[in-house]
Amino acid sequence: MRDKVVVGIAGMPGSGKAVFRKTLQKMGYPVVIMGDEVREEAKRRNLEPTPENLGTLMLNLRETEGPAAIAKRCIPKLEKATEKIVGIDGIRSLPEVHEFKKHFPRFLLVAIHASPKKRYQRLFRRRRSDDPQNWETFMERDTRELGVGMGNVIATADQMIVNEGTFTQLKTRIKKVLKEILEDE
Amino acid sequence: MRDKVVVGIAGMPGSGKAVFRKTLQKMGYPVVIMGDEVREEAKRRNLEPTPENLGTLMLNLRETEGPAAIAKRCIPKLEKATEKIVGIDGIRSLPEVHEFKKHFPRFLLVAIHASPKKRYQRLFRRRRSDDPQNWETFMERDTRELGVGMGNVIATADQMIVNEGTFTQLKTRIKKVLKEILEDE
């Protein structure tokens, strides 16, 4: 049997990235969430998991342990998984991608893309507390993601899923990608 | 009649960007090529149009006139076009996108995406003198494009065309995008 496939999930806020994660999980495949590593480290340091603290801690970890700090901390969890596919959610920069590629011969980077207009509509309709309330806040969030290197990750993805349509269309497309991965044995 | 649509074309090397430009031109729509501005400036300065000279001049223009220097110089040409659609080829950074959006209410950014593997195959098969001879050169060229800001442009495109298939499939997809633009009157 060939190595398991580690599927990296990338996308801008509101692109539909979470649907990919949930689809994997519902199909019985584990997903390692990079943000969880930061939350666990915050716990170890007795820090309140506020967005500010988590943001500062993430930058701190990158500064002291290098740009792939969070990725490196996820490797043991990914290695432990015995399933044919294991997802990794929260990739934001190319050094992280290179770290995963170095460890997993079958690493596949999947990006989900939607137009800024569509992403704005989705985030605004959802009205979660941390969602942008207006276009300016939306642009600030986009700029923050791009500043870390998300654009480079998306531009060099192995698979690009365009998500301008419905939720059902997205799920169908995601399942097709996963089916192709499983058939490539 | 509504304003003309200015269509920005973005994509990594080997993505199929040139097919978009040629399709527009064959349909009778003009395309302003950002690199031509640099070549014209080189002529005015009596510089040989070698890749080195053009690269240095481009950086020089950005330093002295700002990150949207080349975009600004393209605006008069875009304004002069009387067709319903006019293309702009060679966008590499978000400041350029913002410059075009500021001037043209109907600016549409189209990105063409192909996986690194596919792009490498295409560039290698083409064997043009400036094409990568091996994976390392390919990666260097990718890094250069991403360094200027191409990833950010692609990640925030209004339309994403995935080009993993044949030349004919790409042309069909491009024509569909242009048809939708023309129908949106």
CA distance A41 to A58: 9
Local structure of residue B3 (DSSP, 8 states): P
The predicted structure's pLDDT at residue B137:
84
Minimal Cα distance from A163: which residue of B? Answer: B160
Residue of A112, A144, A152, A181 to mutate for B, most B C-beta atoms under 10 A = A152
Instruction: Tell me the longest C-alpha to C-alpha distance in chain A.
Output: 50
DSSP states of B97-149 as a string?
Answer: HHHHHHH-TTEEEEEEE--HHHHHHHHHHH--TTS-SSHHHHHHHHHHHHHHT
Would you call A121 an interface residue with chain B, using a CB distance cutoff of 8 Å?
A: no
CA distance A7 to B89: 33
ipTM: 0.90
B147, A147 contact by CB (below 8 A): no
Looking at per-residue confidence, does B127 or A77 come out higher?
Answer: A77
Query: Strand order of the sheet with strand A159-162?
Result: A31-33, A85-89, A5-11, A107-113, A159-162
The tens digit of pLDDT for each residue in B144-178 reads 899 989 999 999 999 999 999 999 999 999 999 99
Please compute the mean of the pLDDT values over residues A26-41 and round it to a whole number: 95
Q: Smallest Cβ distance to B12: which of A115, A155, A158? A: A155
Measure B45 CA to nearest chain A CA, in Å: 34
Would you call B118 an interface residue with chain A, using a CB distance cutoff of 8 Å?
A: no
- Asked if the model's pLDDT at residue A162 lies above 90, the reply is yes
Where does the pLDDT of residue B128 fall: very low under 50, low under 70, confident under 90, or very high at 90 and above? low
The tens digit of pLDDT for each residue in B59-85 reads 899 899 999 999 999 999 999 999 999
